[in-house]
């Protein structure tokens, strides 16, 4: 998540400081944005809009106790851990670099 936060900070630094800055984030981007803004309250952001933010794992999934433990306690260190979300990764991005990393 740290890598994604650094990317967002890089983009924020390119914004015109005299204008109000709002962030729009969807799904996993909502999680990254919410964590970033909570971790760094000094960022010059006027507000954010989060749609369908990925803030927790669905309750109706059969996720083992061990996977939940790992995600909750060392999730930041395991950004690439894949939990079967029943979402096809090709529906999330067409960027071959990211798809190659996933598969």
pLDDT digits (tens, 9 = 90+) for 22-65: 989 888 888 888 888 888 888 888 999 998 888 776 777 777 88
Beta bridge partners of 49: 24
Q: Tell me, yes or no, whether 81 and 44 share the same domain.
A: no
pLDDT of residue 17: 84
Tell me the DSSP string of 27-72. THHHHHHHHHHHH-TTS---EEEEES---S--TTS---HHHHHHHH
pLDDT value, residue 84: 58
Q: Is the pLDDT of residue 99 over 60?
A: yes
pLDDT of residue 61: 72
Average pLDDT over residues 62-91: 68
The domain tally of the chain equals 2
Tokens of 48: 């954010």
Nearest to 102, CA basis, from 70, 62, 87: 87
41 and 71 in a single domain? The answer is no
Distance CA 56, CA 44 (A): 27
Containing domain of residue 40, as a range?
1-55
Percent pLDDT > 90 in the chain is 2
Q: Which candidate, 8, 56, 16, places its Cα nearest to that of 32? A: 8
Q: Are residues 32 and 76 in the same domain?
A: no
């Amino acid at each position: 998540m740290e890598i994604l936060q650094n990317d967002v900070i890089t983009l924020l630094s390119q914004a015109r400081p005299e204008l109000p800055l709002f962030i729009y984030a969807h799904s996993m981007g909502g999680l990254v944005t919410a964590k970033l803004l909570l971790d760094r309250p000094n960022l010059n952001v006027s507000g954010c809009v989060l749609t369908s933010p990925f803030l927790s794992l669905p309750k109706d999934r059969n996720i083992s106790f061990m996977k939940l433990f790992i995600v909750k306690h060392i999730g930041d260190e395991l950004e690439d851990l894949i939990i079967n979300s029943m979402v096809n990764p090709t529906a999330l991005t067409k960027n071959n670099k990211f798809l190659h990393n996933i598969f």
